[in-house]
Structure 1
Amino acid sequence: MSTSRIQAENYWKANLRLLLKLLTVWFVVSFGAGILFVDALNQFSFFGFKLGFWFAQQGAIYTFVVLIFVYVYKMNTLDRQFGVDEE
């Protein structure tokens, strides 16, 4: 196998690991906090709303937007590490 092919495979594996980590966070926040643990979280209040309700309605969306920025930052770092950045 050529060095560039190994490098490309390592880059793809690192990309998938990052993606799986971020999707896991989003799943835990959206499905876990918004559906599975809603009764436990509803015991707490956040800006006057029950916390479980807030996660189901707003928290998952905010988390998704933050994860987009985290993904962009981490991918730029990964691109530089593997020498495939655009700069």
Structure 2
Amino acid sequence: MNNQQKATAYWKENIRYVLILLAIWFLVSYGAGILFKDALNNIKMGGFKLGFWFAQQGSMYVFVILIFVYVRLMNKLDKKYGYDN
């Protein structure tokens, strides 16, 4: 595989990771916080309704977790394509 093919494959995989992680974040922040709020509000967490918790706190926690997941995925991707020097 030449350098151009390697770089193209690297960026395709990188964009795939980004889109998947953004979709997860969207589902948690918009889905759980807005769309499924009424169903989630039947469950309480720490005295607060779960829909409210996701809208206020959960989406931020998931975002921070997704940052760490992205870092780990990118470290593996860098090693896979030899960009970890």
TM-score scaled by structure 1? 0.95
1:31 and 2:7 matched: no
Q: Report what 1:16 is aligned to.
A: 15
Per the TM alignment, residue 48 of structure 1 is displaced from its structure 2 partner at its CA by 1.1
Separation (CA, whole Å) in 2 of partners of 1:34 and 1:82: 38
Q: How many percent identity over aligned positions?
A: 59
Per the TM alignment, residue 40 of structure 1 is displaced from its structure 2 partner at its CA by 0.5
Give the root-mean-square deviation of aligned CA atoms: 1.0
Divergent runs of 4+, >4 A: none
TM-score scaled by structure 2? 0.97
Q: Report what 1:58 is aligned to.
A: 57
Q: How many residues are matched? A: 85
Q: Report what 2:73 is aligned to.
A: 74
